[in-house]
Amino acid sequence: MAIESEVLVVGGGLAGLTSALAAAREGAEVRLVSYKQSTLRQASGLVDLLGYTPDGDGPLTDPYEAIPDLPTEHPYSTVGVDTVREAMDLFDDVTDYAGGHTDTNALVPTHGGTVKPTARYPRSAAAGLASDDRDLLLVGFDSMTDFDAPHAAAHLEAAGVPFDVRGETIRFPGDLRADAKVTRYAKLLDTNGGVAVRGRERPAREALAQRVNPLVDDEQRVGFPAVLGDDDHAGVRAALESKMGVDVFEVPMGPPSLPGLRLEDRLFAALDAAGASIETGNPVVDYDGGGRVERVYVEKNGAEIPMTADQYVLATGGLVGKGVESDREGVYEPIFDCHVPHSDDRYDWFDTDAFGDHPFAGFGLRTDDELRPLGTDEAVEFENLRAAGSVLGGYDFAAEKSGSGVSIATGYAAGTSAAAEVR
Amino acid sequence: MSDAESPDTDFEPVAPNTGEDFEPTEVFPDSDDFDLRPGADSCYKCSICDTNCPVAEVDDDFPGPKFQGPEQWRLKQTDDDYEIDDSVMDCSNCMRCDNACPSGVPLSQMHNTARGEYVSEQMDKTSVEYWRNRILANYRTSAWFASKVPRLANFAMNFGPARWVMEKTMGITSERDFPEFARQTFREWWADRGGADESRRRAREARERRGEPADADKKVAYFHGCYSNYNTPEVGKAMVRLYEHFGYEVVAPEQKCSGTPMFANGMLDDARRHAEVNVSSMSDLVEQGYDAIASCTSCSMALRQEYPELFDIDGIEEVAANTFEAVEYLRIHEDLRGAIREADVDGDLADEFAYHAPCHARNQGLDRQAVELFRELDGVGVEDVGESCSGISGTYGWKEEKYEKSMEIGDEMFDHMEHAEGDTGMTECPTCAMQMEHGTGYDIRHPLELLSAALAGE
Ligand SMILES: Cc1cc2nc3c(=O)[nH]c(=O)nc-3n(C[C@H](O)[C@H](O)[C@H](O)COP(=O)(O)OP(=O)(O)OC[C@H]3O[C@@H](n4cnc5c(N)ncnc54)[C@H](O)[C@@H]3O)c2cc1C
Ligand code: SF4
Ligand code: SF4
């Protein structure tokens, strides 16, 4: 015996979650197995579709318009622009993100003071859009050094935003330790827990609003680093807005990212609601099979737990997620040993300039038009295995700003066609 | 973050990471310390682990897993006089951080070793805190005494004035009720029932009924742990009946505490002594083809992960590789789903349950098992009450100075339990059960009890 399902998805990042969700919604019996938490917690929580072309042109206004001109090996070319749209519809359906009302990219200020073209953004970031012309105040906390509000404001100003922007730094009420965790702020605000202000216990939300109020001139919107609550982030924002009489928004931050974490929670909940089985904490390490994957093995401290399915989706991420690994000998995909095209000379893998055009950024699997990985001989490696997300090659998510979009689109395509095989 | 400045820009594709080539090596010849530097080196300071830490979420003085693990390790490597920071004693050993690290840093192993070193080298052995921790960690010893006179123990342990004295002199919170001791321990029941011989007889009967070969190789060694022996023998009995129903012969070998409370209190020598007994009895059986089965997820976690990470005992790897959680094992080897689809429950277990997944089930990939398994069982509903840690973390919530924090961590779970449909709780972990009951007043059951009632009819 083994643990059985119709579609088995390996990897719990954006790509794995989307493919499991797509397959489950098509009626397939789905199981998702993931090792660690996904790179969503490291990402900003913004969902980029395509911000720049592979040649660096941009920022693009309409990512969908640019997709047909991408190179053939690009994952968007593999799945086609209609599938990208359907995939984004699924995403919009299960999340509460904003941006779905238009094809054009939104411009969202980042914690470094740059403006980033993105397709979907958390509602909590909505009042901060750079295309809005209301004046803006950024508020940073002196204990959170990753966000220097005056510096970010100066950057935004230099970028030519159509409004006045100022930055102020305050002490978070209650004097949290200098390296307090983002979850500590979030929990305090979620529960409106007590903080000591001049010797008196005050509820955190009130204390924060009171501290910021005197700093607001005539700005109509105030941005904080993205630590405004976790479970009840909408409640935290609404409370601050009513106490401050302005719109409040969050500026997406570097890792660890609360918006990324909230998105992850949301997607897991949707997957649960769709009836899929989920298992995290242990890696898939091996498989049985020839032209078909018969079963895979999940490793728990030496014990190998067999799992079988009819169709498999590989969504184990790229170099960061550990779906693609490298050593001195080469670059490889560790579970199925799918072929990863790369130069034999490892000095060709990266550019000597740190910010150069690194080939490793595009490392990943090549597939047929059904997302099935191809071997050296251009033949499909396994008839029932599809790949999705940053385990795929042919694109550079950091340069193009396409990371989440590619994961969602290919995840959706892989999940939908895997489900079609079993129905 | 905006990926314009993602760590990718200085990503070195040939940098070492923990993976197959990660092997802790001993550098201090006469000590139990491992050099975890390769693990520390692969930390790229993304702080994702910190987002998982339930203690850092409520305790402003706790610097979090990244500091406790890789950072402290580096400080120690570069400065011979560096003393382990005493905050390591505030880590509850929930092991949630392990689940987070995208780079495979062995965080809980680092915490356990650092804590062991702190206790053995820096902690005052005459302090109240040391002895309090030691008593809490050696629950098995107290439980053994108590089980000899369960009625008296149940009374004395929860007798108000005595509890007041315990709090004032020993720092054991008087807010909690001590768990009740069973009148008959699991082992007493097991022996009365006829031990392994009786189990073999029943298993054979079941195999005949199931049409399986009489000599089928189906045998398991039950690691019942302290709690289901002394406090909740009904869990152990359910395990035995269920396994026999599927034709498995059960043995209950000699065993001590799994060591979980000792790891959390840095008492590695105590833990090792117990581990040696457990590994030796289990590895003999593993050699004879038995698999080790635990009904407590902290016990299975200890045997599977902490033992091989911390100790070097003959047979330890084999035991780890052949240890399973009780329900998980049946899912792998039997058509449990099929059986559940055809079953139903009535009586007092026909209920709606508010299920909490213990932290130590999470790393084993078992946090969703109960919810998914019972979806198709007629007569019951099992609702997941969310991913929050229960907050008690074994001995952590028993300490007077930690009690409030432990309740603050658990608050989200209590809240979700109260909003769930049922008024009965469910979990695999005995201390989580204690916390669930304490926070909501609900009765708490183990999934094995439900399974056994549905399938083995008892
Ligand atoms: C630092 C950083 C910042 C980013 N910022 C942005 C941004 O601002 N906007 C944007 O749109 N995109 C951003 N991205 C990109 C985006 O997050 C990723 O492209 C996308 O989320 C990748 O999703 P994935 O599912 O393919 O892979 P991952 O998220 O890497 O998930 C892979 C999953 O597979 C699991 N796994 C790996 N091996 C195994 C195994 N053997 N068995 C079982 N499970 C396994 C992993 O544990 C992980 O859960 C960023 C990425 C990074 C790293
Ligand atoms: S999650 Fe891992 S890599 Fe990130 S800070 Fe923690 S230990 Fe380091
Ligand atoms: S084991 Fe738990 S309490 Fe300890 S550092 Fe890790 S997450 Fe925090």
Contact: A181, B14; criterion CB under 8 Å: no
Place of tokens 């023998």: B233
Tell me what pLDDT residue B452 has: 94
From chain B, the residues in CB contact with A187 under 8 A are 57-58
Residues 6+ apart with CB under 8 A from B55: B62, B64, B90, B91, B92, B94, B405, B409
Tell me the pLDDT tens digit for each residue of B249-277: 999 999 999 998 888 889 899 999 999 99
- For residue B27, pLDDT over 70 is answered with no
Angle, alpha carbons A90-A92-A96 (nearest 5°) = 140
Q: Is the peptide bond before B70 cis (omega within 30 degrees of 0)?
A: no
- For residue A269, pLDDT over 60 is answered with yes
- For residue B83, pLDDT over 70 is answered with yes
Question: Taking the mean position of all CA atoms in its chain, how far away is CA A123?
Answer: 15
Q: Please report, for chain B, how many H helices and E strands are present, in that order.
A: 26, 8
A129 at B interface, C-beta within 8 A: no
Quote the ligand 1 centre to A195 CA distance (angstroms): 36
Tell me the pLDDT tens digit for each residue of B136-147: 777 777 666 666
Q: Are B426 and B445 in contact (CB under 8 A)?
A: yes
Chain B segment 23-52 residues within 8 A of A by beta carbon are: 46-48, 50-52
Distance CA A235, CA A226 (A): 14
- For residue A413, pLDDT over 50 is answered with yes
Q: Strand, coil or helix: what is B125?
A: coil
A112 at B interface, C-beta within 8 A: yes
Asked whether the ipTM of the predicted complex exceeds the cut of 0.95, the reply is: no
| Confidence tier at B125 by pLDDT (50, 70, 90) | confident
**A128: its two tokens:** 């901060």
Distance CA A343, CA A345 (A): 5
**B296: its two tokens:** 């407590």
Tell me the pLDDT tens digit for each residue of B89-106: 999 899 999 988 888 899
Contact: B50, A256; criterion CB under 8 Å: yes
Q: Are A105 and A127 in contact (CB under 8 A)?
A: no
Q: What is the DSSP letter of B27?
A: -
**B175: its two tokens:** 């807010």
Average pLDDT, rounded, for chain A: 92
Quote the ligand 1 centre to A7 CA distance (angstroms): 21
Rounded to a whole number of angstroms, the CA Rg of chain A reads 23
A98 at B interface, C-beta within 8 A: no
Residue range B278-305: mean pLDDT, rounded: 94
* CB burial of residue B98 (10 Å; 0-12, 13-18, 19+): buried
Which residues face B444 on adjacent strands? B425
Of B11, B13, B47, the CB nearest to A256: B47
